[in-house]
């Protein structure tokens, strides 16, 4: 990894989609020790056509 860079994982989820389960898995994973995690939560479904 280059000096000054931090790996980032971005998780975009709906309410009740299991984000706590996923985050618990990620923080226990050895490769995620120095990774920033950004979680965005939405309660609105997008109408994509």
Q: What is the pLDDT of residues 1-49, one digit of tens each?
A: 557 888 888 888 777 778 888 888 888 888 888 888 888 877 666 656 5
Considering the domain boundaries, does residue 3 fall inside one?
A: no
Name which of 13, 9, 10 is nearest 31 in CA terms. Answer: 9
d(CA 44, CA 26): 25
State residue 48's pLDDT score.
62
**Greatest alpha-carbon span in the chain:** 43
Considering the domain boundaries, does residue 26 fall inside one?
A: yes
Backbone conformation region of residue 35, classed left if phi is above 0, alpha if psi is from -120 to 50, else beta: beta
State residue 25's pLDDT score.
86
Token pair 């309410």: residue? 15
Considering the domain boundaries, does residue 48 fall inside one?
A: no
Considering the domain boundaries, does residue 37 fall inside one?
A: yes
Name which of 10, 4, 42 is nearest 23 in CA terms. Answer: 10
Domain count, the chain: 1
């Amino acid at each position: 990894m280059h000096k000054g860079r931090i790996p980032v994982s971005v998780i975009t989820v709906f309410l009740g989609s299991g984000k706590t389960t996923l985050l618990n898995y990620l923080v226990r994973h050895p490769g995620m020790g120095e990774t920033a995690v950004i979680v965005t939560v939405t309660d609105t479904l997008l109408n994509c056509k």
